[in-house]
Amino acid sequence: MTNPPPAPEPAAAAEVPTDSAEFASADSRLPGPRQPRPDRRVTLRSDLRASWPDGLVALLVTAAVFVLLYIRIRNKTSSTVSVMPFMADAGGFWMYFLSQAFGWSALLWAWGTVILGLLLSGPRPGRLPLSAPRLERLHRTTSLNTIALITAHALLFGAELVRHSTASWNSALTTAFIETFVPGGYDSGTGQIAIPVGQAALYLAIPLGLLFYVRHRIGPKTWRVLHRFVIVVYVLSVWHTLLYGTNVWYDGWFRTSVWLLQLPIAALLLLRLLRPARRSEKLPLSPGATASRTGWALRLGGRLAVVGVMVALVVVVVSGNDGGRTVPPDDTASTHNHD
Ligand code: HEM
C-alpha cells in the first residue's frame, strides 16, 4: 500500500507570505511545486489565535526557570543573593524571581524569533523541517510572544516594587509605574542605564513588530525598511541583560554562554547581508548606477561591522573575558550596587 501524498497544512496554505511578490525568488528555491496563494490577509487577530502553542511552551520554560532560580535562592547558590543579600528570603521575593524567569524566556524567544527572521530574509538552508509559510508564521507568533514575555517581566518587577512599598496604595502604584515604565524614572545604581535600555527594547519592539499588520496602509516597502531595525531591539535586550541581570552579574561560564549564543545571530546576520533572499538587496561589487557611492560604502561598512562583531564575540568566548564583575571574596557581601 502506498502512502497518500502529505496534505497541505491548512493554516499555512491559507496564509499569504509577508511580501509574496518580493519573496518569489526565495520561495522558488524551495523544493516542491509552488502553492497557489489565496489572497487572505494575515491579521493580528489570526496571529494572536495562532500564538498559543509557542506561548504555552514559553510559559512552561518560564516556570522551569523560575523553579531553578527559586531553588538556587533557597540553597544560597544564586548570585542574585550575593549582589542583593536581602533577597535571601525566597518566599518574600518570589515575584522578583518570577520577573527574572520571564526575562530569560523573553530573551530566549527574542533569540529564536531573530533566528527565524534571518532565515526568512537570508539564504535559507535547502532542507528545513518547516515550509516557508509555516516558518514565517512561527516568526510572527514568536515575535508576539516575545513582546508579551517582556511585558510580563516588566509588570512583575513593577508589582514587586508595589508589594514592598510602605507608601499608600496610590502612591506606591504611581512610583512603581514610573520606575518601571518611564525612562529616567528609576534613578539609582546600574538601573539608571539598564532600565531605560530595557524600556527602549520594549518600546521599539511594539511598533517594529506590530506595524506588519498595517503594512498595507504604510506600504510594504516602508514596513520592510522599518522592520529591519528590529535587530536594534535584540541588541538592546542582550545589553540590558548583561548589564543588569544578577544571574550573569559575575564572570563565569553562564555569562560567557550568553555571549556565545550571539554568535549564530551574528553569523546569520552576515549571511543575510551577503546573500539576501531579495536579489535587489544584494550589495554590488562596486558602486554602480543603482547605488550612490556613500550608500554603497555605508552598506559595505555595515557588513564589515558585523564581521568585527563576530571577531569580538569569538575573542570574548575564547578568552572568557566577558565583562562580568569579579566574585567578591566573601560571597555573602555585595561590593556592587545593583539598584
Ligand atoms: C520595561 C522594560 C524592562 C524593565 C523595567 C526590566 C527590568 C529588569 C530588572 C529590574 C532586572 C534585574 C533583575 C535581576 O536582579 O537580575 C532585569 C533583568 C533582566 N531582564 Fe529586564 N527589564 C526590561 C526589559 C527587558 C527586555 C526587553 C528583556 C529581553 C528581551 C529583558 C530581559 C532580562 C533578563 C534576561 C534579565 C536577567 C535576569 C536574571 O539575571 O535572572 N528585560 N530586567
Task: Please write the tens of the pLDDT for every residue from 95-151.
Answer: 999 999 999 999 999 999 999 999 999 887 777 788 889 999 999 999 999 999 999
- Which tens digits make up the pLDDT trace of 46-70? 999 999 999 999 999 999 999 999 9
User: Helices (DSSP H) in the chain: which residue ranges?
Assistant: 10-13, 24-27, 44-50, 52-74, 79-83, 94-121, 132-163, 169-181, 191-210, 215-218, 220-227, 230-244, 253-260, 262-274, 293-319
- Decide which of 237 and 328 is more confident: 237
* Residue 121: count of CB within 10 angstroms of its CB: 24
Q: Report the percentage of the chain scoring pLDDT > 90.
A: 70
Q: Which ligand 1 atom is the nearest neighbour of the CA of 246?
A: 16
Q: Do residues 83 and 338 touch, judged by C-beta distance below 8 A?
A: yes
Q: Which ligand 1 atom is the nearest neighbour of the CA of 80?
A: 15
Q: CA–CA separation, 95 vs 159, rounded Å?
A: 7
Question: Is 68 strand, coil or helix?
Answer: helix
C-alpha cell at 291: 547605488
The amino acid present at 220, given as its one-letter code, is: P
Q: Please tell me the pTM assigned to this model.
A: 0.88
* Residue 204: count of CB within 10 angstroms of its CB: 15
* Rounded distance from Cα 288 to ligand 1 centre (Å): 45
* Rounded distance from Cα 68 to ligand 1 centre (Å): 17
Q: Which ligand 1 atom is the nearest neighbour of the CA of 69?
A: 41
* Rounded distance from Cα 203 to ligand 1 centre (Å): 14
How buried is 276 (Cβ within 10 angstroms: 0-12 exposed, 13-18 middle, 19+ buried)?
middle
Q: Do residues 233 and 205 touch, judged by C-beta distance below 8 A?
A: yes
The residues, any chain, with a CB within 8 Å of residue 201's CB and separated by 6 or more, are 150, 233, 234, 236, 237, 240
Q: Which residues pair with 250 in a beta bridge?
A: 325
* Rounded distance from Cα 238 to ligand 1 centre (Å): 10
Q: What are phi and psi of 282, to 5 degrees?
A: -70, 140
What is the pLDDT, as a whole number, of residue 7? 33
C-alpha cell at 109: 524567544
Q: Is it the case that residue 12 has pLDDT exceeding 80?
A: no
pLDDT category of residue 281 using cuts at 50, 70 and 90: confident
C-alpha cell at 98: 518570577
The amino acid present at 248, given as its one-letter code, is: V
Q: CA–CA separation, 125 vs 197, rounded Å?
A: 34
- Measured by CA distance, the residue closest to atom 33 of ligand 1 is 103
Short-list 263, 282, 262, 261, CA closest to 273: 282
* Rounded distance from Cα 278 to ligand 1 centre (Å): 35
- Measured by CA distance, the residue closest to atom 37 of ligand 1 is 245
* Mean pLDDT lowest among 11-15, 99-103, 258-262: 11-15
C-alpha cell at 43: 491579521
Q: Is it the case that residue 282 has pLDDT exceeding 90?
A: no
pLDDT category of residue 336 using cuts at 50, 70 and 90: low
Give me the torsion for CA of 177, 182, 183, 185, rounded to 10°. Answer: -50
The residues, any chain, with a CB within 8 Å of residue 322's CB and separated by 6 or more, are 251, 252, 255, 256, 259, 316
pLDDT category of residue 30 using cuts at 50, 70 and 90: very low
Q: CA–CA separation, 119 vs 129, rounded Å?
A: 13
* Residue 47: count of CB within 10 angstroms of its CB: 18
What is the pLDDT, as a whole number, of residue 28? 36
What is the pLDDT, as a whole number, of residue 330? 64
* Rounded distance from Cα 244 to ligand 1 centre (Å): 7
What is the pLDDT, as a whole number, of residue 18? 44
Ligand 1 contacts (CB < 6 A) are 80, 100, 103-104, 106-107, 110, 150, 153-154, 157, 180-181, 195, 198-199, 201-202, 237, 240-241, 244-248
- Which tens digits make up the pLDDT trace of 182-210? 999 999 899 999 999 999 999 999 999 99
**Best probe residue, ligand 1, of 78, 105, 203, 240 (max atoms within 8 Å of C-beta):** 240
